[in-house]
Amino acid sequence: MSTTIRVSTDTRDRIAMLAGASGEPMNAVVDQALDALERRRFFDDLNTRYGELRQDEQAWSDIERERAGEATSLHDISR
Per-residue pLDDT of the chain (79 residues; tens, 9 = 90+): 889 999 999 999 999 999 999 999 999 999 999 999 999 999 999 999 999 999 999 999 999 999 888 877 766 665 5
Q: Which of 54, 10, 64, 2 is nearest to 27 (CA)?
A: 2
* Gap between the Cα atoms of 10 and 41, Å rounded: 24
How high is the pLDDT of residue 69? 84
Q: Tell me which DSSP letter residue 6 carries.
A: -
Q: Tell me which DSSP letter residue 56 carries.
A: S
User: For the whole model, what pTM was predicted?
Assistant: 0.71
> If 0-12 CB within 10 Å is exposed, 13-18 middle and 19+ buried, where does residue 46 land?
exposed
